[in-house]
Amino acid sequence: MEWLLSEIYLYDLMAVGLAAIMWLAYTYYADTSEAARTNLLGGMTEQRRRWMKQMLRRDNRMVDVQIIHALMRSGRFFGSTAMLIIAGLLTVIGATDRVVALATDLPFAVNVVRAAWEAKLLIMVLIFVYAFFKFVWSGRQYNYCAIMIGAAPAPGELSEEDEAFGASIAAIASLAARHANRGVRAYYFGLAMLGWFLHPIVMIIAIIWVVLVLYRREFRSRTKRLVWPSEDMS
């Protein structure tokens, strides 16, 4: 235990613990709490319900399938990028001695110890592995949406069962969007944690900045106001 504390200082552990708490707390607030019903993601959930209602009334549904494919391409791009980042981080782990030697020349870098840097790099790897799995699962769910659109009933008089089928497609699309959103959020927090290699305080400042940016975009941005017109929020 004494060796561990000598290699990875206590304030590093406190900093990464605080970063994890802020990430989890914001995820709960933005995705699960009551406030999540009126943010940008909640507004897009409502728009997906409208989208699927319109889809059920269309004869030609190719535009709907094309939208699904565009969303899948976006997720594949981020998933592929996550794999490249993971490969780069693993390469750096394999050359830790050289990296540590370079880091010792940085004026503000602290905790330039092999075990500490390897631990930091492994945590970064885990963050982007998490992002990769989120994007892959999101893509699978969008694939299911495309299949369900193909199985949707023909337009005409829609029964309650047909309306429920459209609502199910919208719900799956919203789940896919939520997982993709969490994958993008992992990118934000992963980039903020790069500050950890300079100093734990730099990382915490970057994490706070990321939380503020995400909050503004998801709760206070112009995009959110346009997605949620005032008459829909009453």
Tell me the pLDDT of the chain (234 aa) as tens digits. Answer: 444 444 456 777 888 899 999 999 999 999 988 888 889 999 999 999 999 999 998 888 889 999 999 999 999 999 999 999 999 988 888 776 666 655 555 555 555 666 777 888 899 999 999 999 999 999 999 999 999 998 888 887 778 888 899 999 999 999 999 999 999 999 999 999 988 887 888 899 999 999 999 999 999 999 998 998 664 443
Q: What is the pTM of this model?
A: 0.86
Residue whose tokens read 């429920």: 164
Q: Quote the CA–CA distance of 192 and 188 in Å, as a whole number.
A: 6
Q: Is 67 exposed, middle or buried (0-12, 13-18, 19+ CB in 10 A)?
A: middle
Handedness of CA 43, 73, 68, 24 (dihedral sign): negative
At which residue do the structure tokens 């200082």 appear? 9
**Annotated domain spans of the chain:** 2-233
